[in-house]
C-alpha cells in the first residue's frame, strides 16, 4: 500500500474520518495543556475522578433527551462541578482529605450513571457513554468540542502566570495578593469542560486519556512549563492521528486505539525521552568537566 493510501486516503475518502480527526485535534489543543497543569499540581488522578463524575449528569440528560448533545453535555458538566464542589467542601468541613472524598463521590457518581443508563437504554448506549464513538461525531458535537478548545486556550492565556506560580509557591502568591484562588477555580472549571468535550468523543472512561498521557509524557521532552504544554499538544496530535489510522486500517475501536497510541508515546517517553528518561539514567554518557 502506498504512503498516501496509508496516511491520507482514509481522511480524503471518508467525511467521518475527517470529522473525527478535527475533533481529536481540537481536543489535543485544549486538554493536553490542562493535563500538564494537573500533573504540575500533583492532581493527576483528579482528572480520572472528575471524568467519572460526568456520568450521572450525562445519564440524566440521556433519560430525558436520548443520545443527544446538549442535555448530556450540560448534565455532565453540572454533575462534575457538583462532585468537585461537594468533595472540596467535605475536605474542608471534615477530617477526610480531598483525594479520599473525591474517591467516595466519583464512585457513587459512576455507579449511579451506569445504573441510570442501563435502566433506560441498551448495552449499546452504555458502550457509547463509557467509551465514546469518535467516528460518529457530528457537526454539532464538533462545534462544541472546538468551542471548548478555543475557550480553554484563551482562558489559559489569561490565568497562565498565577496558575504557574500557584503550582510553584502558592504561599508567595497569596502573600503578594495574587489571584491564586480565582485561578484555581477557573482551572477546575476548565478541567471539567474539557472532560465534557472529551466525553463527546472518547466516552467517560477514555476522556482522560488524551488529557493525561501526553501531559505525563511531556516532562521527558521539555524543561519549561511552556515547553511541556507545547510538547503535550504535539504528542496528543500524534496519538490522535496514529490512533485513528490504526483503528481504520485494523478495524479497531477508535477511542481505545487513540488512547493506546498516547500510551505508547508515554512508554516511549519514559524509556527514551531526551530528558531524565530511563535511557538517560542508565546511559548518561561520560560526565562533563563542570
Residue 44: φ, ψ to 5°: -55, -35
- CB nearer to another protein: pick between 162 and 243: 162
| Least distance in angstroms from the C-beta of 91 to another protein | 15
- CB nearer to another protein: pick between 92 and 249: 92
| Least distance in angstroms from the C-beta of 110 to another protein | 31
| Least distance in angstroms from the C-beta of 171 to another protein | 5
- CB nearer to another protein: pick between 138 and 169: 169
State in Å, rounded, how far the first CA of the chain is from the last one.
52
| Least distance in angstroms from the C-beta of 170 to another protein | 8
| Least distance in angstroms from the C-beta of 177 to another protein | 6
171 Cα distance to chain centroid: 28
Choose among 165, 194, 186: nearest CA to 51: 194
- CB nearer to another protein: pick between 145 and 218: 218
Q: Alpha helices, DSSP H only, in 219-253? A: 225-250
- The footprint of another protein (CB under 8 A) covers 40, 42, 158-159, 161-162, 164-165, 167-172, 174-179, 222-225, 227-228
Q: Alpha helices, DSSP H only, in the chain? A: 3-7, 9-13, 15-40, 44-65, 69-93, 98-120, 123-131, 139-168, 170-175, 180-218, 225-250, 254-272, 278-282
**Nine cell digits for residue 252:** 479497531
- CB nearer to another protein: pick between 105 and 220: 220
**Nine cell digits for residue 267:** 512508554
Amino acid at each position: 500500500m502506498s504512503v498516501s493510501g496509508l496516511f491520507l486516503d482514509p481522511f480524503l475518502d471518508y467525511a467521518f474520518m475527517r470529522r473525527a480527526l478535527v475533533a481529536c485535534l481540537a481536543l489535543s489543543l485544549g486538554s493536553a495543556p490542562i493535563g500538564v497543569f494537573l500533573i504540575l499540581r500533583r492532581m493527576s488522578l483528579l482528572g480520572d475522578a472528575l471524568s467519572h463524575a460526568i456520568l450521572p449528569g450525562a445519564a440524566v440528560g440521556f433519560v430525558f433527551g436520548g443520545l443527544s448533545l446538549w442535555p448530556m453535555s450540560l448534565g455532565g458538566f453540572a454533575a462534575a462541578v457538583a462532585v468537585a464542589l461537594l468533595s472540596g467542601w467535605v475536605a474542608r468541613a471534615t477530617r477526610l482529605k480531598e483525594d479520599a472524598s473525591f474517591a467516595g463521590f466519583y464512585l457513587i457518581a459512576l455507579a449511579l450513571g451506569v445504573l441510570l443508563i442501563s435502566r433506560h437504554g441498551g448495552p449499546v448506549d452504555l458502550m457509547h457513554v463509557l467509551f465514546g464513538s469518535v467516528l460518529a461525531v457530528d457537526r454539532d458535537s464538533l462545534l462544541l468540542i472546538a468551542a471548548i478548545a478555543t475557550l480553554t486556550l484563551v482562558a489559559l492565556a489569561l490565568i497562565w502566570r498565577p496558575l504557574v506560580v500557584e503550582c510553584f509557591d502558592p504561599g508567595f502568591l497569596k502573600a503578594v495578593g495574587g489571584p491564586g484562588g480565582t485561578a484555581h477555580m477557573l482551572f477546575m472549571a476548565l478541567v471539567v469542560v474539557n472532560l465534557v468535550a472529551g466525553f463527546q468523543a472518547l466516552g467517560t472512561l477514555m476522556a482522560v486519556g488524551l488529557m493525561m498521557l501526553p501531559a505525563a509524557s511531556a516532562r521527558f521532552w521539555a524543561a519549561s512549563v511552556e515547553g511541556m504544554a507545547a510538547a503535550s499538544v504535539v504528542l496528543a496530535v500524534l496519538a490522535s492521528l496514529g490512533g485513528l489510522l490504526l483503528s481504520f486500517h485494523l478495524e479497531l475501536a477508535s477511542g481505545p486505539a487513540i488512547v493506546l497510541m498516547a500510551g505508547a508515546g508515554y512508554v516511549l517517553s519514559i524509556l527514551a525521552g531526551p530528558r531524565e528518561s530511563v535511557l538517560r539514567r542508565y546511559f548518561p554518557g561520560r560526565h562533563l568537566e563542570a
